[in-house]
């Protein structure tokens, strides 16, 4: 273990933003890029193109086709205040897919952006559940404070109640919307004024928790009330506890406005300070892989297929768990035991895709792959086998029946489905008795990519019949009586032959559980 490597690893902060569309993920990312000097002008990120909500699905396909693989926005590494910050994008909206969830397996922390006018929205909640399952730290940014939103206290209460996480108040707004005076910064013991000049933007607090000196705003009720509320809440609230933050039980809560940049720097300063550097990873046989261990290890968490038929190569996204990556490194792919040369790789910078110079634990690299790699694959350097635990499977919510259009092409249909399923593009189910194919996904885009690739890569045209939303719940094989299947559910089996009910809706599931109270149904993550 070299000292320099250990120091490099310590500088890494690898995170993803979890939020509902329109909460401000892009805007806050852009602010981070601005602070780090990676871009000079706000608006650049969006103008670049692959902003999910600006394009319909078909446009997305078109874009991918024109550009080959577009990954510039998938991972960004920026230098912030001496830290190497890796932001891994979590596509939402039309681009939402299992990859969005899998990305969360490759980060060390999450930033949850909430719109103060809306509070906790469905996609935030779902992404929170996935992150929370991993027990990694979650930092909350209550955004759009420059607009009138809901009461701050109500937002914090909702956060705790709906998500079941404790809040630690880092700062507290003094006013909101057009009357926003500033933030009472409990963590840094200062007041951050919205419209201060360089000298009065940050004003330190004295022992009484007051701003020292004569300022007009001190007579304003926004100041006195904000100060009083903040002090009261901080005394009555949850105590600071770094361990609870690290395990995702306590979330530091910040208020601010991404659009006007207010409170954003304060947020990122505290974030790099409190968020953890990469930590040890446990293998399936309980080896502890220290991130500063000199040999390279990593796992594949996402594979981005090329939508351009002329370029079949794909990019496998690899999270480095230990060691240092150098171009041309020779490694072993654990699943096959075969050697894997890491020569054609790419790293993701804010403004361009570049060949990787060097990357260390915590970083993410892209490896051009011709079909050798699968999601969840472990890669290691040296003799000792390293196998990281499998990535979780996520409960699909949307389903389609699929059949080949041309019965003569059954073979390529089956081969294509098998490979795409193994790759993690969609999940495969078969009806219990008749073995009709059903595919499941968490986002509509997965189906379209599936159909497109099946046709282009395997020359198999498919008929897809939407079945809509279903609630998938697994049942233990020993509990199963095929008579349990009714018109309100479909009995199927997954690709490991485990029986699963696809319920029409919540009502159908409730009906089932009340009819069979002793039977335990399970879901995946």
CB atoms within 10 A of CB 147: 15
Our CB check for ligand GDP shows the closer of 65 and 118 to be: 118
DSSP code of residue 384:
S
Our CB check for ligand GDP shows the closer of 180 and 460 to be: 180
Q: How far is the CB of 92 from ligand GDP (least distance, A)?
A: 7
Half-sphere exposure of 158 (CA within 13 A, CB side): 18
Our CB check for ligand GDP shows the closer of 27 and 489 to be: 27
Q: How far is the CB of 33 from ligand GDP (least distance, A)?
A: 12
| Total residue length of the chain | 525
CA–CA distance, 501 with 432 (Å, rounded to integer):
10
Q: How far is the CB of 131 from ligand GDP (least distance, A)?
A: 16
Q: How far is the CB of 95 from ligand GDP (least distance, A)?
A: 11
Q: How far is the CB of 28 from ligand GDP (least distance, A)?
A: 7
CA angle, 140 then 143 then 148, to 5°? 135
Q: How far is the CB of 447 from ligand GDP (least distance, A)?
A: 22
CB atoms within 10 A of CB 120: 18
Decide: helix, strand or coil at residue 76. Answer: strand
Binding-site residues, in ranges, read 19-26, 89-93, 143-146
Residue 316's nearest CA partner among 375, 359, 360, 392 is 375
Residue 419's nearest CA partner among 432, 428, 409, 407 is 428
Dihedrals phi, psi of 456, to nearest 5 degrees: -80, -35
Our CB check for ligand GDP shows the closer of 259 and 398 to be: 259
Binding-site residues for GTP, in ranges, read 19-26, 89-93, 143-146
Our CB check for ligand GDP shows the closer of 89 and 504 to be: 89
CA–CA distance, 276 with 291 (Å, rounded to integer):
12
Radius of gyration of the chain (CA): 25
Our CB check for ligand GDP shows the closer of 118 and 415 to be: 118
CA–CA distance, 53 with 16 (Å, rounded to integer):
18
Our CB check for ligand GDP shows the closer of 43 and 371 to be: 43
* Block residue for tokens 């406005």: 257
Q: How far is the CB of 216 from ligand GDP (least distance, A)?
A: 26
Our CB check for ligand GDP shows the closer of 22 and 313 to be: 22
Our CB check for ligand GDP shows the closer of 24 and 323 to be: 24
Residue 101's nearest CA partner among 393, 329, 354, 350 is 393
Q: How far is the CB of 269 from ligand GDP (least distance, A)?
A: 18
Our CB check for ligand GDP shows the closer of 19 and 72 to be: 19
**What H or E segment, with its residue span, contains residue 387?**
none
Dihedrals phi, psi of 280, to nearest 5 degrees: -65, 150
Q: How far is the CB of 15 from ligand GDP (least distance, A)?
A: 15
Our CB check for ligand GDP shows the closer of 96 and 325 to be: 96
DSSP code of residue 377:
-
CA quadruple 124, 177, 251, 258: dihedral positive or negative?
positive
**What H or E segment, with its residue span, contains residue 221?**
helix 221-236
Q: How far is the CB of 29 from ligand GDP (least distance, A)?
A: 8
Q: How far is the CB of 485 from ligand GDP (least distance, A)?
A: 40
Cα separation of the two ends of the chain: 36
In terms of C-beta distances under 8 Å and separation of at least 24 residues, what long-range contacts does 164-167 make, across chains too? 165/128, 165/132, 165/138, 165/248, 165/249, 165/250, 165/251, 166/238, 166/244, 166/249, 166/250, 166/251, 167/140, 167/237, 167/238, 167/250, 167/251, 167/253
Which residues of this protein are in contact with ligand GDP, per CB under 6 A? Answer: 19, 21-27, 53, 143-144, 146-147, 257-259
């Amino acid at each position: 273990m070299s000292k320099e490597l250990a120091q490099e690893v310590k500088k890494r902060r690898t995170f993803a933003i979890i939020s509902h569309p329109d909460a401000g993920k892009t805007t806050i990312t852009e602010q981070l890029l601005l602070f780090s000097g990676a871009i000079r002008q706000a608006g650049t990120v969006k103008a670049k193109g692959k902003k999910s909500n600006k394009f319909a699905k078909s446009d997305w396909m078109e874009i991918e086709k024109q550009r080959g693989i577009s990954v510039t926005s998938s991972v960004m590494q920026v230098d912030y205040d001496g830290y190497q910050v890796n932001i891994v994008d979590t596509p939402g909206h039309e681009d939402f897919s299992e990859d969005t969830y899998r990305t969360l397996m490759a980060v060390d922390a999450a930033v949850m952006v909430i719109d103060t006018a809306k509070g906790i929205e469905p996609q935030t909640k779902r992404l929170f559940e996935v992150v929370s399952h991993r027990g990694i730290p979650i930092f909350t940014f209550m955004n759009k404070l420059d607009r009138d939103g809901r009461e701050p206290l109500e937002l914090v209460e909702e956060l705790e109640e709906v998500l079941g996480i404790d809040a630690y108040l880092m700062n507290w707004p003094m006013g909101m919307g057009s009357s926003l005076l500033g933030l009472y910064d409990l963590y840094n013991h200062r007041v951050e004024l919205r419209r201060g000049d360089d000298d009065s933007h940050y004003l330190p607090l004295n022992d009484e928790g007051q701003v020292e000196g004569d300022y007009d705003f001190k007579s304003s009720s926004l100041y006195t009330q904000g100060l009083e509320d903040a002090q009261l809440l901080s005394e009555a609230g949850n105590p600071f506890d770094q361990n609870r933050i690290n395990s995702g039980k306590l979330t530091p809560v910040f208020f601010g406005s991404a659009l006007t940049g207010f409170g954003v720097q304060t947020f990122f300063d505290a974030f790099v300070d409190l968020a953890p550097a990469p930590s040890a990873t446990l293998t399936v046989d309980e080896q502890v892989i220290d991130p500063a261990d000199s040999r390279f290890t990593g796992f594949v968490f996402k594979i981005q297929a090329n939508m351009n038929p002329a370029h079949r190569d794909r990019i496998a996204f690899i999270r480095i768990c230990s060691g240092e990556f150098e171009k041309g490194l020779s490694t072993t792919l654990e699943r096959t035991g075969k050697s894997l040369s890491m020569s054609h790789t790419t790293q993701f910078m804010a403004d361009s895709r570049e060949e990787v110079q060097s990357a260390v634990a915590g970083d993410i690299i892209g490896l051009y792959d011709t079909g050798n790699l699968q999601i969840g694959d472990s890669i290691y350097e040296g003799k000792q086998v390293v196998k990281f635990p499998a990535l979780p499977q996520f409960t699909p919510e949307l389903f389609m029946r699929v059949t080949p259009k041309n019965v003569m092409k059954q073979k390529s249909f089956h081969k294509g489905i098998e490979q795409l399923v193994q790759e993690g593009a969609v999940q495969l189910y078969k009806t219990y008795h008749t073995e009709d194919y059903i595919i499941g996904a968490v986002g509509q885009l997965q189906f379209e990519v599936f159909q497109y690739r099946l046709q282009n890569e395997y020359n198999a045209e498919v008929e897809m019949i939407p079945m809509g939303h279903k609630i998938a719940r697994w049942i233990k094989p020993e509990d199963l009586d095929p008579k349990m299947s009714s018109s309100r559910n479909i009995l199927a089996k997954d690709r490991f032959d485990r029986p699963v009910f696809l319920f029409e809706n919540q009502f159908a599931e409730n009906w089932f559980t009340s009819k069979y109270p002793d039977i335990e149904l399970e879901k995946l993550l």
